[in-house]
Amino acid sequence: MNTAVIVAGGKGTRMNKGINKLYLDIKGKAILARTLEVFFASDSIDEVVLVIAEEDLGICKKKVLKEIEIKKPFKIVFGGNERQDSVYNGITNTNKNTDIIVIHDGARPFVTKDIIENAIKEVKQYKAVVVAMPVKDTIKITDENGLITKTPDRSRLWLAQTPQVFVKEIIVQAYEFCRTNKIKATDDSMLVEQLGFKVKIIEGSYDNIKITTPEDLAFAKLILESGRI
């Protein structure tokens, strides 16, 4: 059984719109509604667990759940203070028969069914998979004074995206280990790496953006207008 955990518990303060960014409309439909629709449409997903802030339950029902067709088993759980807390609440509330967990940012509405299905196919071999894209620009590493200390080889650098897909036993073990040892990370795969597991990167899409700022919102509208999604 494959369960998608959609993480939508953030505040979205960088958008400066007065409400959580996930409930902003892009061409007549909330960002989170667009994200959920892709997972409900995927034949590879058997269950969807949505993690939201408790105070957003009302707007979520109004702007998202009333606007989409819920086609498979679905559950809402409430998030915690940090993203890691929210993800943990999501993964520990999946169906007891879940074998594979697909963790995805609610703010990435342009993920495709092909990306989801490819990641699930690969995780059956590698146990832990991250969708990512090669960086386009040269990356510089600096010291605390802003002076360049290193220029890494661009050909081996990737921009991590979601979904990030794991065998359930591994991702639950990773979260519990890091919670016990107070280890913080910026994405789920970093926690799995702490256990010594190798994580496989597979290619996603440059359109699979995380909508965080007003500039991202404008770009998202252009993606929709382009017809690529």
* pLDDT the model gives residue 228: 81
Higher pLDDT, 17 or 28: 28
Binning pLDDT at 50, 70 and 90, where does residue 18 land?
low
Task: Say yes or no to pLDDT of 24 above 70.
Answer: yes
d(CA 139, CA 194): 24
Task: Say yes or no to pLDDT of 6 above 60.
Answer: yes
Backbone phi, psi, residue 156, to 5°? -115, 15
DSSP reduced 3-state for 203: strand
CATH of 2-226, one of 1.10.287.3510, 3.40.50.920, 3.40.980.10, 3.90.550.10: 3.90.550.10
* pLDDT the model gives residue 14: 52
Task: Report whether the peptide linkage leading into residue 134 is cis, meaning its omega lies within 30 degrees of zero.
Answer: no
Task: Say yes or no to pLDDT of 104 above 80.
Answer: yes
Sheet holding 128-134, edge to edge: 74-78, 47-52, 2-8, 100-105, 158-167, 128-134, 200-203
Which tokens is 148 given? 């360049």
Average pLDDT score, the chain: 94
Residues shown for the chain: 229
* pLDDT the model gives residue 73: 97
- Among residues 209, 176, 206, 207, the alpha carbon closest in space to that of 194 is found at 176
Query: pTM here?
Result: 0.94
d(CA 201, CA 164): 9
DSSP tag of 14: G
Q: Which residues contact 76 (CB under 8 A, 6 or more apart)?
A: 49, 50, 51, 52, 57, 60
DSSP reduced 3-state for 165: strand
- Among residues 119, 79, 107, the alpha carbon closest in space to that of 22 is found at 107
Which tokens is 68 given? 């989409």
Which tokens is 158 given? 């990737």
DSSP reduced 3-state for 132: strand
Q: Residue 188 belongs to what H/E stretch?
A: helix 188-194
Q: Residue 104 belongs to what H/E stretch?
A: strand 100-105
Query: Domain locations in the chain?
Result: 2-226
* pLDDT the model gives residue 229: 76
